[in-house]
Structures are given as structure tokens and as C-alpha cells.
């Protein structure tokens, strides 16, 4: 099968098109012919080897972390799906590889594609929709009337998280550039801070939850907008001890992750708030929870541009250089 894979970590030159054997299909797997996949910042970090300490993939590694396609084979123990089903998924972190013609995915990580969406639209959703769900529903347990700040509202996660937070009944603030204000308001943001002209930490106060997609100074300043007992959930790092335990990391890696997040956790504690790091997980069940909201139009995908499969490297470069105006960049296989 045709793929785009990483042969060496470090830079875009390490990504190339190539042929690899078709995937082996386990008893609980479905083999999906991929129609579309989307590009995520995670793909760039994996390409560069940023996560190789705790995600020790064997090279060559097929990149790609979400997909939409059609089931072409079902393992002997598969009960949820049949050949011909249109599906979407974020494969488990140990089984990524959606920049390819085929992928074998455990049935628990797959859901029927929303009927209202094209393959390209559906492929844009799994990773960012699951990230939003796991941050706002699972981790933060957002309740109606709570105040939620979502950074980078026009980004892949931001566009979906704003819509989901509104469905949970939250009052939603977001940060965006001047050109994106109308978009994020259309998605449901109640308050928009134009980060080019305002410092969000001086404008926003008394928030229950911050979903930080940027890290660095933005994460540190986010502590200032939370009320006592508030939570900041970071998806850009740094990793924390709880994440190390989830991974089953060895003692040295646990110590390293604890050290990386020590400063932000200490600052959070001084303010009587909490910081936690989220590395999203695959979940077909959660995609099934999201699907009715998508089919009802309450959560809609935002697709910036679709590249042909042959231009996957160019699609990754487009994302890396920040050319995407809003939402996701998608690669179409067919």
C-alpha cells in the first residue's frame, strides 16, 4: 500500500512517500480503506521525535492520527461493524498511521461516520473532538453556567471545543486574532479577546476552566484568570506525574516528567488552582457520544483546506508554517 512515513526523526526531509505491506488484521480489528485523513500538530511533533522518550515507535513510522473511510474487512471477533460501513476514528497511539491507503484499527476505537458529513469533514474531527470531550467532559466536568476559556479558538481543537463547551451550557471565552473574531463568535464564543491588541489575563477573571492549547507563557498567564478551585488543562505540555503513571513510565521518565511540570504545578498550587496535562486517548464510545451532536449541526467541522494524498508533505508544511486560516487541514486519498 502507498504511505507517507518517517524514516528518521528530525525534520520534514525525513518524511517520504513509500510502499509498505498491507496491515495485518487481528480478530478484533477492522481494516479500513482510508478516504481522508487530517494533519495535526501531533504529526509534526512525532516527525521531529519530540515524544520518542515515551512513544518509542519503530521506524519507518507511518504518520497520521485520524481518518474517515470504509470498512473492507472485519476480524473474526468484530461485532460492531460490517464490510461497507463508513467510519471515522482516531487509532490508538500505538497503532497510528492514517497517511496510508489502509489501516487496521481495533473495533473499540472506531465509530460510524456522521451521515451528514463528507469523508473530508469527518476526517477532520476525531482527534480534536476527542481532545475537547476528554478535556471538558471527562477532566473538567464542565457544568451549565460555568466560565470556560479556550485558547486559540480558531485552531483545530479550539473550533470544536468552543462548540462543545456551549453545548455543555458554559459561558465561553476564547482568544483569537482580529481576522478570526467573526468565526469564533459564529461558533458560539461569548467573549473574544483579540490577542494582538489585548492581554487576556488582564481582561478575564473568575473562570472555572482553561483549556490551554499553546503552552509556555500562555499557560502561566492562564493561572491568573482562574478563580480558586479552578482548573487549567494543557494539551501542549508540560507532562505531569499523573500522565507518567498513565503511561506506566519507568522511574527515570516519571521523575523527568515531574520535573518538567514542577514549576507550573507549584504556581498553580499557590493560587489554589490545579494544572493537569492531557494526552488524548482513542475512544469509539466517545465518538458515538459526539456523533448525534454533529448530525444535529450542534458541532460542525471547520476545514481550512484539502490536499491530495500525493501532497501530504506539502500539507504538513502548510500546517507547520501556520498558513491555515482556521480549523483543520485534510489529506484526501481518493
- Mind giving me the DSSP string for 256-278? HHHHHTHHHHHHHHHTT-EEEE-
> What confidence tens digit (pLDDT) does each residue in 130-150 have?
999 999 999 999 999 999 999
Percent of the chain clearing pLDDT 90 (strictly above): 88
Between strands 86-89 and 226-234, the pairing is unpaired
Its CATH architecture, for the domain 2-125+301-332, is: Alpha-Beta Complex (3.90)
Give the residue extent of every domain in the chain.
Answer: 2-125+301-332, 127-277
Backbone angles phi, psi at 168, to 5 degrees: -85, -5
Q: Which CATH number fits domain 127-277: 3.40.640.10, 3.20.20.70, 3.40.50.720, 3.40.1180.10?
A: 3.40.50.720
Half-sphere exposure of 134 (CA within 13 A, CB side): 21
Residue reference for cell 461493524: 81
pTM score, whole prediction: 0.96
Angle between helices 156-167 and 126-133 (to 10 degrees): 50
* Listed range (59-63, 100-104, 196-200, 257-261) with the worst mean pLDDT: 257-261
The mean pLDDT value for 169-186 works out to 97
Q: What is the pLDDT of residues 162-175, one digit of tens each?
A: 999 999 999 999 99
User: What is the grid cell recorded at 47?
Assistant: 516527525
Confidence of residue 193 (pLDDT cuts 50, 70, 90): very high
Say if CB 218 and CB 153 are below 8 A apart: no
Average pLDDT, the chain: 95
Q: Which residues contact 138 (CB under 8 A, 6 or more apart)?
A: none
pLDDT of 270 over the 90 cut: yes
Weakest mean pLDDT among 61-65, 202-206, 249-253, 267-271: 249-253
DSSP label at residue 48: H
Distance, CA of 233 to CA of 209 (rounded, Å):
8
Q: Whole-angstrom Cα distance, residue 281 to residue 164?
A: 18
pLDDT(21) > 90: yes
pLDDT band at 298 (very low <50, low <70, confident <90, very high): very high
Q: Write out pLDDT tens, residues 249-267.
A: 788 888 888 898 999 999 9
Grid cell at residue 95: 497503532
Instruction: Let me know: does 147 contact 173? Beta carbons within 8 Å.
Output: yes
Q: In the prediction, which pLDDT does 195 show? A: 94
Q: Which band of pLDDT confidence, cut at 50, 70 and 90, is reported for residue 242?
A: confident
Amino acid at each position: 500500500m502507498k504511505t507517507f512515513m518517517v524514516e528518521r526523526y528530525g525534520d520534514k526531509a525525513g518524511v517520504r512517500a513509500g510502499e509498505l505491506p498491507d496491515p495485518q488484521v487481528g480478530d478484533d480489528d477492522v481494516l479500513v480503506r482510508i478516504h481522508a485523513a487530517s494533519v495535526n500538530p501531533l504529526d509534526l511533533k512525532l516527525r521531529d521525535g519530540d515524544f520518542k522518550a515515551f512513544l518509542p515507535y519503530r521506524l519507518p513510522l507511518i504518520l497520521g492520527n485520524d481518518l474517515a473511510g470504509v470498512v473492507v474487512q472485519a476480524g473474526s471477533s468484530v461485532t460492531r461493524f460490517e464490510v461497507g460501513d463508513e467510519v471515522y476514528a482516531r487509532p490508538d497511539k500505538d497503532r497510528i498511521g492514517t497517511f496510508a491507503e489502509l489501516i487496521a484499527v481495533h473495533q473499540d476505537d472506531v465509530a460510524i461516520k456522521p451521515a451528514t458529513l463528507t469523508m473530508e469533514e469527518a476526517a477532520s474531527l476525531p482527534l480534536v473532538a476527542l481532545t475537547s470531550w476528554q478535556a471538558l467532559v471527562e477532566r473538567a466536568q464542565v457544568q451549565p453556567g460555568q466560565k470556560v476559556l479556550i485558547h486559540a479558538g480558531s485552531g483545530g481543537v479550539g473550533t470544536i471545543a468552543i462548540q462543545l463547551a456551549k453545548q455543555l451550557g458554559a459561558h465561553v471565552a476564547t482568544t483569537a486574532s482580529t481576522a478570526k473574531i467573526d468565526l469564533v463568535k459564529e461558533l458560539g464564543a461569548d467573549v473574544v479577546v483579540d490577542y494582538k491588541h489585548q492581554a487576556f489575563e488582564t481582561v478575564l477573571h473568575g473562570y472555572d476552566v482553561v483549556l490551554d492549547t499553546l503552552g509556555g507563557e500562555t499557560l502561566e498567564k492562564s493561572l491568573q484568570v482562574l478563580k480558586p478551585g479552578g482548573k487549567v488543562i494543557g494539551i501542549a505540555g508540560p507532562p505531569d506525574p499523573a500522565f507518567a503513571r498513565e503511561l506506566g513510565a519507568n522511574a527515570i521518565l516519571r521523575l523527568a516528567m515531574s520535573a518538567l511540570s514542577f514549576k507550573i504545578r507549584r504556581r498553580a498550587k499557590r493560587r489554589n488552582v490545579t494544572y493537569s496535562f492531557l494526552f488524548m486517548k482513542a475512544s469509539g464510545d466517545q465518538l458515538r457520544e459526539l456523533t448525534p451532536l454533529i448530525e444535529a449541526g450542534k458541532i460542525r467541522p471547520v476545514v481550512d483546506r484539502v490536499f491530495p494524498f500525493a501532497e501530504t508533505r506539502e500539507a504538513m508544511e502548510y500546517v507547520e508554517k501556520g498558513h491555515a486560516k482556521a480549523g483543520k487541514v485534510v489529506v484526501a486519498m481518493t
